[in-house]
Every structure is written in structure tokens, then in C-alpha cells.
Structure 1
Amino acid sequence: MSTLRDLVEEHTSLGPVDVEHLHRLAGDWQLVSDLSFADLLLWVPIGNGDDYLCVAQVRPTTAPTAYQDDQVGRIAGGPEVAHLTVARTQGRIWREGDPVWYGDTPARYEAIPIRRRGSRDVIAVVGRDTNLSTARSPSQLELNYLTTADDLALMMTDGTFAPPRHPGEVTSAPRVGDGLVRLDGGGKVTYASPNAQSAYRRLGLPAHLVGEDLPALTARLVDDPMEGADAAERILAALRGDAPARKEIDARGASMLIRALPLMPAGVPIGALVLVRDITEVRIRDRALLTKDATIREIHHRVKNNLQTVAALLRLQARRAPAARAALEESVRRVASIALVHETLSMSSDEVVEFDGIVDRVAFAAAEVAAPEAKVRIGREGTFGVLPAETATPLVMVLNELLLNAVEHGFVPGDGGSVTVTVHRFRKQLHVTVADSGKGLPEGFRMDGGERLGLQIVRTLVTGELRGSIELRDRSGGGTEAMLVVPLTRR
């Protein structure tokens, strides 16, 4: 399915500013749909203006939809869209028609012309289509919803709705069903939905909201006076015609999200619409997750410290046992490579690591193992990117063994050369090559028949922990290369 931008750019000559306005409207019009108990369809004229293309659609969460099938991409013309043409050419909201039938569903059609703020040109038309199959006498809640929806519809015609998005806000929450408060021009509550009343009761309000000065009440209820003053100022800003960013407030252990919107039909400020949502349980879960993440990071930090302690003990043992020094020093390097992964995880908020930095540190440590007279350069080509911990830990041990083998056994004593780690991702696999410019593999070498501990570790980790494959072979230009393929899918 094509996006709104794709459809508009393909079928109309609207400019980028117009398209951006339509995008912002479609990002926030769920509010109008829920208040209207109606489907909203965004139509743009195409061709000579007699036909219309539906480029976006939203269904209400407060009422049944008028359309079971999706309308986006549908082209309509003739008498079916006459109301859209009236709204577009006369620049006014059209709602004079009789109910119509869409399939087996009775519906009432309305048309709202869409302009950008400060422009007189109608760039699109919103069809507001209501399913009448469940029509009944409206309650006080429904009457307030419909009145507010009509005010927002008038703001859509003059471009003051939808308001600009604030940085970091990716949704329009809270929504109508979460809690709605309507204010008059002085900030007094004229209507509060039951959910809004419940949200304020959790903050500590014993009385009913209607008649209260909402900015002053909110500032009084919030635990932190500075936060309360900020929340009150945002509601006052909406009364002045601005659209402030959402605000979270806390009181008596409860948390609430507030969003204030101005009500300015025909450009005249008449009050504000305040949407509230009780997010107490959400924040409790968030705090639990933060505690869990902090605990996991602390565990990785302690594991890293314990591994470093083990490495230090092995170094002390190596000094006291010259005959076993080489084997103990190899063990120190293996333990240190694992500690690198846990050190990185202890600074991460999840169980993934940036692996390039770990490989570079392992390569630097391996280069120091080379004999002083041999100048072995180790480099990396490509990027490993982010890897899960379950892959990073065995992979760093494999690369550590391959680099040490290349440095210690790949070159003639006294000669220098280079070792290159090359990596690229292909079809959810990690392809890694460790190639050196040394003397090559010994005659009759077999990967599965060697007695070296390092190669046994490599083979076991690659085929077992990583579920991958490895091949050691002579390099075409001289030297040795290890070809490693590791799947990146979760185990």
C-alpha cells in the first residue's frame, strides 16, 4: 500500500509544505475521529478536480466504523463526491445531506475543507462519515464529545489543527477514551469525562472536577511545586492559543500524562481541551524494568571484576611456575578477552555490544605478543556492528585464538608482516576472515586433527556455541586465512 506522501505526489501537484501539513493532520486526527464517533477520510482532488483520491483513513475507537474495507487508494467521482466538491469550492463545512447507504450500513456524510494556516486555498477535503446503525439519544459525554469535535473541525478549515509536533513526541497520546476535560476561556472545567475524573482522584482530588480552576488545581495537587507550576503554565498556554508539549505529573504515588490543546474555532479562543491519562501502572513497570536493567549491568560489572581477579591470580602463578608460564599466560589472555565483553555489557542498557571496539582491543593485545624484533601489524576491514551477548562472548574468544595463532606461529622468527580481520554481513550471517601474510600452514595440516589447545577451543566454540563453520587454508598470495561464517539469528 502506498503512503500518503506517495499518493499525493503521484496524483496531485501539491507542494512539500502542503504535503507536510496533511501528514501532520493524519498524525493527529484520531482525536477528531474519536470525538466525532465517525470515520475520517482524507480526499485530494485529481485530474480536473471532478474526481477525488482517498489518501488516508482513520476509524473511531469510540464507535463502529462506517467502512469494513479500506478506502485508501480508492478514486471516487460523480454524485458520490458532490459534497466534497461543495466543501472545496465554497470553503465551508458541508453537512446538509440526508443519510445514505454504504452497502448495508446507513451513514451520514459530512465534508470539511482543509487549509494551511494563513492560506485561503483548500488543499484537501476530509470526509467525516458516521455509521448510523447504532444511533440513539446522545448522553452528556457524547454531546460534549460532538461539540468539541465540531470546534476542532472548524480549526481544521483554518489550518490551526493539527498543531506542530514537539521534538521527541512520536504519538498523540493520551487519547479521548483515556480522559477528557473541557475548559472555558478562564480555565474553569465545564466538563470532565468519568476517566478524567478518576485520574484526578488518583492524584488526590476528593471533589468533582466541574467548576474547578484546572491550572490552579493541577499545580496544587502535584508533589513537586516546580513541576506543578510547569504543568499549570502549559494549560494556560493552551488557553492563550498555543499547543504545548505533553507533561507527566506525579502526586501521592500516582502518575498522569497531560496534553492541552487550544480550542479556537474560526480563530477565536474559547477555551482548551485537556486530555489526561493515568499512567501509574505503566511507570511502576518502567521502574521495575530499570531496576532489572541496573541489576543486570551490575552483574556484568562484577563478573568482569572477578575475571580480572582470576587473570591476576594466573599471572602470579605464572611467575612462580616458569615451566608452565606460557600456558598460564595464554589462559590470562583468554580470560581477559571474556572480561572485555562483560565490561562492555556493564555499560549497556541491554544485552548487546558494539563489537568493533572489543575486536580492536583484542587485536592490540595480540600484537603485543609478537616478538620484539618482529613487526606484525594487525588491522580490521569492515564493521561487526552490534552483536548480542550470546554471540559476542564466544566470538571474541575465537578471534583472540586466531589472532594469537597468526602472530605466534604464522611468521618466520625475525620477520614481520600483517594480519587483517575482514568482516561483512550477508543474509543474516556474519562472514569473518582472519588472514596473515606469513609462511602458511604446515604440510599435512588438518583442522580437526590438531592437538593445539587453541585450535580445539576455536573448533568447539564455532561449531557448538556459535552454530557456525570455520575453514583454515593457505592464502593464494602467501600466508594463511581462516574463514568463519556465523549465523546472526537468535538461538
Structure 2
Amino acid sequence: MINQAGTLDAEGVEHLHQLVADWHPLADVTFSDLFIVLPTKDDEMLIAAHCRPATAGTVEGEDVVGNPVPPSIDKQVRKSFLTQQPLQSGVDHVRFRIVPIATRVQKVIGILVVASDDRTERQPDAVQRNYAEITESMLRMISNGEFPGDGVPTGLRHGTPRVSDGLIHLNADGVVLYASPNAISAFHRLGVRGRLPGKILAELVTEQMQYSSSVDEMLPVVLLGKGSWVTEVESRGVVISLRAIELKNRGARTGAMLMCRDVTELRRSERELMTKDAMIREINHRVKNNLQTVSALLRLQARRVQDPAAKQNLDDAQRRIYTISMVHEALARTGADKVEFDETFARLMRLAAGVATTGQHVTTRFEGSFGTVHSEEATSLAVVLNEVITNAVEHGLKGRDGSIVVRVHRDGDELDVVIEDDGVGIKEGEHGSGLGTQIVETMIKSDLLGTINWSPGPERGTVVTIQAHMRHRD
């Protein structure tokens, strides 16, 4: 919705996207709903974005993005945009602060409306005073084109703090002016004891660094409020996430708003998940190696067997096992329980066609996409497709050149695969009855919850149609 009004250039669109990505702290510290209003080519004032606070109830329960500004404040919004000056207004129990939004080159591109409910419970004087100072600084920065700043991180990590998690107000020298109860508790757990107001936070935290295994080089910048950045501090196994927003007045630093959150349990859970992922990756790697070893042993055994039927059975078993190992190779490479199946199938199709040929030239073509397939279904799907393609080469194209085309269509959970060759073909209602066919029918019915059908091609050859249901979503 940012550029639905159609009045912004590329710089203006980018500036508003950055503002929307970073305006939650302002909503929280003002206990207010935030609205971005843009003028349209039809001389309307359109609401382009809306942010609700986590520290108070919302004043607007409906989705108003895309709607014109209410008539009750339309006049004030237009006046602020034309004069490039902030205004205040009130309607019933709602107070409005109307602030021009300027880019870094001082071009006004829209209006920020801060809407707060007068009936919101008032905070203690110290809280109210510090929150008000932070609010004034941030609104002034927005109207001066200083917020959001250049180089500020936007891809915030899971667990990045908000105002409600813990707030510290710093002056220009990094001295704590105010610390919320949640912030005090977080730093107490880190090992910082006593009162925080009146102290230089960076000095208090530095004393705990002897118990830390590593220190982010940006930590002093954040603790002193000398830049808008995100970092973490760890001591004695406790992890505190920190986010600083530098407060300025026309380029001069006036202080900072520092948000903090105890993310110890969150990071511990993430480390456990990383360990489990690494373990799963290693298991899949070992399974792949073991399967390839078994496949190689079967291949060696097949070379010693004289009976053609026994040799063929060993070759088939070796090929099936190697197909399964390919899926585990893909799982080991990604470390996930899902496979981007297109790449795996492309290798499988070339391998199946190459191994099964006995001198003839067979071309293969793959159309469509399987998408992401869960590991439990990927193995069965790989074996089924390998059997069908191998059968097409060994029987449909036996002793002759030809081609095989695989067409895939995926729609959510439903998967349709058509495998067509231009070989000798089959009669209507006819299909194989060997072990390979039994394996295919069993896997499709039990593992893929689907069906398979063999039919003569439109001119010659055979068309195999597989319909499967993917129980595990992407």
C-alpha cells in the first residue's frame, strides 16, 4: 500500500519502507497507533500504513489501510502537509499528533499521525517524563528526515526487544536517565546489581565481561547509545538482546533509547535445534554412505553371478538402493527434513536412463516442478519414478532409440506426474506384473496415497500417469 497513492519516487518509497520496518518502538513509547498518510493524484489523503502499540490498547480496531483520512482530521492533515509543520488535534477522547515525514534531503513526502486514547492509564511521572522526551526526539527526527537513519539494520533477529520487554533512556554521555522494571530485572540477571539511573551503563556491563566467552565489537556503541544497532551480551550463561535507537536533533546526538530483552532460553533452544539439525545431517550422511556401500557390494556380487535372472535381480536391487541413497544425499546436504526434489529427480532420471540402456540412444526431458517434498515421501517418490523410467527404457525402448518425457504439475498437496515414452507401447488395460510393478503400486498406494495408470500413447509408446497426495506441506 505504500505507493498506492502513486505520488512517490523511488527514494520516497524506500524511505517509507524503512520507516515502517522500524516504527514499532515509537508506537510502544507513545502508547499510540501510528498511521502513514499520503496524498494521491486525486487530491485525497490516503492511509497507507498502520502500526498498533504493544504497550496499550489500539484506538482503531478495524483495518483502515487504503481508506481516506477521516473527515474529522482531514483539514489538519492537509494543513500540516502544505505548511510542513507539526500540528495537534483532538476528537472526543482521541488525541492526534500530526507530523510531516521528510526524507534525508528534507523533502516532505507524507504525514505521520500519532493517535492516542486520553483514557489510557497515566504512567508515573518518571516514566511519563522519559517517554515524552523520547517521543519528542523521535517525532522531531522523523520531520527532519533523521529517522530511520542510514545503515540501520532492518533484518532483525528473532528475539529482538521491544519497548515492553525493557527500556532504558540514556543521555548523550551514555548515563542512564531511566530504566524500566523489566530492564532492571534483565541486567540484574546478567550480574549488574544496584540502581541503574545515574550510572554509565557501558561501565557496569564491562565489569561482567570477564565472564563472557565472546564480545561483539558493536557492544560499546550500543551501550553508550552512539549508534542505532542491535547486539547481544552474554555473561555466566545469561544472554541479553540489546537494541539502541540513537536520538538526534539536527545532527547533534542528544541521547538514545535502549531496548533490552532476556533471550537466554530462546538462544538455548536455538542452539539445541542447531545441534539436532547437525545430528540429523550427519545421520543422513552416514545412511547415504552405508546405502552406497551396500549398493557397491551388490554390484560386485552381480558380476560374479552366472545366472542371467539372478544377475538381473541383483542389478535391480543395487539400483533401487542407490536411488534411496540419492535422497539421503540431498537431505544430508540441506540438513532439513525436506528436499527440493527437482534437482534430485533430474539426476535420477539421467542415471536411470543411462544405466538401463544397452547401446541405444535415449533422450530424456523434464517439464514442470515437484517443489519441496518431505523426506518420508521423497524416498518413495524417487523409487517409484526410478522403476517407471527404468521399465520404459528396458522394455518400451528395448533395442531401439527413443525418448522419455516427464511432465509434472504440483498444486498444493496434489501431485500429478505423466511419464511418456515413444517405444513399442502396450495394449489397453495391460501392464507389468513383476517385482518392480508390485513395488511401485505398493508405494504409491501406502506412502503417496495415490494411484497409477498405464495406457497406450496417442500414436505409439506408453503413458504412465501418477496421482499422489503429499501429506506433508512445503
> Same fold by TM-score, threshold 0.5 exceeded?
yes
> SS of the counterpart of 1:322?
coil
Unaligned runs of 5+ in 2: none
Superposed CA offset, 1:433-478 (max 9, x none): 222222222x57623xx43111111122122211122221222232
- Corresponding residue of 1:344: 330
Show the counterpart of 1:166.
153
Cα-Cα RMSD: 2.8
Counterparts of 2:412 and 2:28, CA distance in 1: 44
Quick one: distance in 2 between partners of 1:411 and 1:69?
A: 64
Task: Show the counterpart of 2:442.
Answer: 460
Letter in 2 for 1:5: N
Say which of 2, 5, 8 aligns to 1:4: 2
| Structure 1 residues 486 and 246: CA distance shift in structure 2, 3 A | same
Residue-by-residue CA offset, 1:359-406 (whole Å, 9 max, x unaligned): 233333333434543333334334433321122111111111112211
Secondary structure of 1:270 counterpart: strand
TM-score (norm 2): 0.89
- The corresponding residue for 2:177 is 190
2:317 to 319, 322, 331: 331
Question: What secondary structure is seen at the aligned counterpart in 2 of 1:264?
Answer: strand
> Aligned in 2, Cα 1:78/1:311: closer, same or farther, shift over 3 Å?
closer
Does the 8 Å CA contact 1:216/1:232 hold for their aligned counterparts?
no
Cα displacement string for residues 29-68 of structure 1 (whole angstroms, at most 9, x for unaligned residues): 221111111222222345786x533222222221222233
Q: What are the ranges of 5 or more consecutive residues in structure 1 without an aligned counterpart?
A: none
Which residue of structure 2 aligns with residue 68 of structure 1?
61
User: Could you tell me whether the CA contact under 8 Å between 2:450 and 2:466 is conserved in 1?
Assistant: yes
Aligned pair partner of 1:19 in 6, 9, 13? 13
1:430–1:69 distance in 2 versus 1, CA, 3 Å: closer
In structure 2, relative to structure 1, the CA distance for the partners of 1:480 and 1:76 (3 Å cut) is closer
Distance in structure 2 (CA, Å) of the matches to 1:384 and 1:78: 52
Counterparts of 1:29-428 in structure 2, within 5 Å, are: 29-46=23-40, 52-76=45-69, 80-95=73-88, 97=89, 99-101=90-92, 106-119=93-106, 121-136=107-122, 138-164=124-150, 165-166=152-153, 168-169=155-156, 173-222=160-209, 223=211, 227-236=215-224, 238-239=225-226, 242-243=227-228, 245-319=229-303, 321-323=305-307, 324-370=310-356, 372-413=358-399, 415-426=400-411, 428=413
Q: 1:378 to 1:71 in 2, by over 3 A?
A: closer
Paired residues of 1:221 and 1:228 also in contact (CA < 8 A) = no
Q: Distance in 2 between matches of 1:171 and 1:293?
A: 18
Q: What is the distance in 2 between the residues matched to 1:163 and 1:340?
A: 49
How many residues in Structure 1 have an aligned counterpart in Structure 2? 469
C-alpha separation in 1, matches of 2:70 and 2:116: 20
Relative to structure 2, which stretch is displaced further, 296-305 or 141-150?
A: 296-305
Measure, in 2, the Cα distance between the counterparts of 1:258 and 1:386: 36
Cα distance change of structure 1 residues 187 and 438 upon mapping to structure 2, 3 Å threshold: same
Using the aligned pairs only, state the percent identity. Answer: 36
Give SS of 2:269's match. Answer: helix
Moved more, 144-153 or 223-232: 223-232
Secondary structure, aligned partner of 2:418: strand
In the alignment, the residues of structure 1 paired with residue 72 and residue 404 of structure 2 have an alpha-carbon distance, to the nearest angstrom, of 75
Aligned partners of 1:332, 1:265: CA distance in 2, in Å? 73
Structure 1 residue 336, shift from structure 2 partner: 1.3
Deviation at residue 425 of structure 1 after TM alignment: 2.7
SS at match of 1:147: helix
3-state SS of paired residue (2:218): helix
The question of whether the paired residues in 2 share the 8 Å contact of 1:218 and 1:231 is answered with no
Which residue type is aligned with residue 383 of structure 2?
Answer: M
CA apart distance, 1:160: 0.7
Give the AA of the match of 2:184. Answer: Q
